[in-house]
Chain A
Amino acid sequence: AQRVTQPEKLLSVFKGAPVELKCNYSYSGSPELFWYVQYSRQRLQLLLRHISRESIKGFTADLNKGETSFHLKKPFAQEEDSAMYYCALSRAGGTSYGKLTFGQGTILTVHP
């Protein structure tokens, strides 16, 4: 069975500092990895997905199959980045296609 681990429940940085939210996964097949973000009093929304290889709001994430990691990074954190971040994995095919397995979430706080 697949599993997603976010080792840090809480992460605090100062504005302008680099930030890295860790995500490790276990899955025997070829996964699709996502980062979702939930701002205060808002619904969960997609931040980025690994296949797009894009940068959203300054965040990037690279899938490292050797280390089974998909860490989220931003070189200069902003106060508006404060939120709950979830790493999620989806199977790439089969009957479970599209189902998401979420990590435990990391609360990021960016101090002024």
Chain B
Amino acid sequence: GAVVSQHPSRVICKSGTSVKIECRSLDFQATTMFWYRQFPKKSLMLMATSNEGSKATYEQGVEKDKFLINHASLTLSTLTVTSAHPEDSSFYICSASGGTSGTFEQFFGPGTRLTVL
């Protein structure tokens, strides 16, 4: 299957700083990328959907000014957690899809562990 990478795999930052997480599709063009948040032993919660070249669509309850998403190319999407606080500490997972019709598969990245002190 297709490969999706995330960088960094883990990051620790101070409260009030901003953190950028990159999601890359390594061997295919991702027309759509998804960002999820996963709490310990809990399900994945979809945060936003981004399509290359357009603004991200955020799920209800997700602050778009807090979680900035950019999908500047068909192989890269970034999630920036602005003014991070301890409650933002979580596991962030991206997925990428390159389907254009019918059912298309999402390929998941390995996740990024964010710890805000």
Contacts and interface: CB of A to CB of B under 8 A. Distances in A.
B62 to A, nearest CB: 13
Interface stretch (B10-18, B66-74, B77-85, B97-105): B97-105
A105 B38 CA distance: 11
A104 B43 contact: yes
Contact of A51 (B32, B44, B46, B103): B103
Q: How large is the interface on B (under 10, 10 to 19, 20 to 34, 35 or more residues)?
A: 20 to 34
Contact of B105 (A9, A46, A105): A46
A51 to B, nearest CB: 6
A43 B109 contact: yes
A101 B111 CA distance: 18
B34 A103 contact: no
Given A100-B34, A101-B46, A32 B108 contact: no
Interface of B: 1, 4, 32, 34, 41-46, 49, 57, 93, 95, 97, 99, 103-106, 108-111
